[in-house]
A = this chain, B = another copy of it.
């Protein structure tokens, strides 16, 4: 329970209605998009301005009360679960688009704006904000910044980090920090803007962001290519890139995913295929035509069994459905769905998919894999049942080996979902002892009493690395 004096002061800052500690509010903010994680906060607060956030942090820091900032809580790493209790700060009231600057091609927004609403507004002005995480109809820009969200357009356009050029953020002690600006270049001191993006709410509370916008592509074309041999699909990915073509989207579905998706979305996909690639190119019409023609040639050369190029936007949408429904289709198979995002250099995708399948077999668990092939960012997804402790244990062992395999192949434990609680025990595998030491130092420099999102990123203990058994 929250210290009553602190609670009274918090109420005075935001008003009676915007601080809650009733059971309903606490339970509603005890979990997020991550399965099997729940922890009750002691209070929930809804600030309306940077000044309120600053005043709140002064109180919390005086009483040493932990704070978890959240938007819609769609993250998949336990990033917004109040692991150590304290106050959950919900940013939904700070949801305004403050400005779209057409001369500088920037937008300034509050963190609580829903990503898809922001994108729609920007597109209505004839501009383009590329980061498009799958959660974008629910998730907020603030959440996207916290996790450095990616999406289907990441290969060509990059991720959230590439579009955040200025931030206003409140430090743990209530001081207000301003970084960057409407500036395409700024090297005045360390790059705090990029450091805060992806810092998972552990360094500061973002209260305003200046985002870079770009001109939209003039047209877009979508195609599917299906392979009986997964290496054919993987070679296609490499050949496209080696052929100096960077598609807007280059996604892969493996065989377990194809079978589930085909059944779910009634797409009639051939279930004997080892992999399907979903490819989209955008840009000027001539360039798009040329690229799609060359990609088709590459697919044929790599022995694709079937190639479909969408003739219309509607047909393109139908092809994209295969990818977009992957998670939903998998989620209805069993009570619990665990979606991970181990990432490898793009040349290692086939190796990684096969390694995942082998690991799943070894532990007797079901893992389907889909994801951003062009980025090497795969989503091995386990369908399981949280109530079956023994099975969950095997799933955990499998993911442990998957992270290990990703690192062995020159990859990382997370490409776009973040570390949170879930991957904290594995972080040292990627960044090493020196990396952990430096990151802990940065954390302490921003937040000396470790009040901001405690229990995330840094685990009490690093898992022992498993020994992989191949073959």
On whether the beta carbons of B183 and A343 are closer than 8 Å, the reply is: yes
Interchain CA distance A354-B437 in the complex, whole Å:
48
Partner-binding segment picked from A37-45, A62-70, A171-179, A274-282: A171-179
Does A268 sit within 8 A of B, measured CB to CB?
Answer: no
Q: Per-residue 0/1 for A237-270: is the Cβ within 8 Å of any B Cβ (1 yes, 0 no)?
A: 0100110111000000000000000000000000
Contact status A150-B194, CB under 8 Å: no
Interface residues of A in 163-199 (CB under 8 A from B): 171, 175-179, 181-192, 194-195, 197-199
Query: Which of A103, A186, A190 has the most CB atoms of chain B within a 10 A radius of its CB?
Result: A190
| Complex alpha-carbon distance, A446 and B440, angstroms | 10
Interface centre among A199, A411, A431 (most CB of B within 10 A): A431
A417 at the interface (CB under 8 A from B): yes
Count of chain A residues near B, Cβ 8 A:
93
A147 at the interface (CB under 8 A from B): yes
- In the complex, A372→B183 CA distance in Å? 12
Alpha-carbon separation in the docked complex, A190 to B447 (Å) = 14
Partner of A347, one of B103, B195, B216, B437: B103
A15: chain B residues within 8 A (beta carbon) = none
Could you tell me which residues of chain A, from 431 to 456, have a CB within 8 Å of some CB in chain B? 431-442, 444-446
Within 8 A of B (CB), among A373-431: 374-377, 410-419, 423, 427, 430-431
Q: Nearest chain B CB to A414's CB is how many angstroms away?
A: 5
Would you give the shortest CB distance from A312 to chain B, in whole angstroms?
23
Contacts known (A192-B439, A195-B195, A287-B284); A187 close to B415, Cβ less than 8 A: yes
Binds B, one of A82-90, A153-161, A220-228: A153-161
Interface residue from B188, B194, B242, B412 paired with A412 (Cβ < 8 Å): B188
The distance in angstroms between the C-alpha atoms of A106 and B376, with both chains bound, is 14
Q: Which residues of B contact A203 (CB under 8 A)?
A: 190
A442 B439 Cβ-Cβ under 8 A: no
Contact of A183 among B178, B185, B412 (CB under 8 A): B412
CA gap between A91 and B287 in the complex, in Å: 42
Indicate if the CB atoms of B410 and A178 lie closer than 8 Å: no
Bound together, the chains give a CA A413 to CA B185 distance in angstroms of 11
The reply to whether the CB of A215 lies closer than 8 angstroms to some CB of chain B is yes
Contact of A178 among B345, B427, B432 (CB under 8 A): B432
Does A107 make an interface contact (CB < 8 A)?
Answer: no
Tell me whether A417 and B187 are in contact in the complex, defined as CB-CB below 8 angstroms, given that A177-B432, A238-B103 are known contacts.
yes
Q: List 7 A-B contacts (CB under 8 A).
A: A148-B191, A171-B434, A186-B412, A186-B415, A187-B412, A188-B419, A195-B442
A98 interface residue (CB < 8 Å to B): no
- Does A435 contact B178, Cβ atoms closer than 8 Å? yes
Contact mask A280-323 → B, CB, 8 Å, 1/0?
Answer: 00011011001000000000000000000000000000000000
Query: Contacts of A377 on B, CB cut-off 8 Å?
Result: 184-185
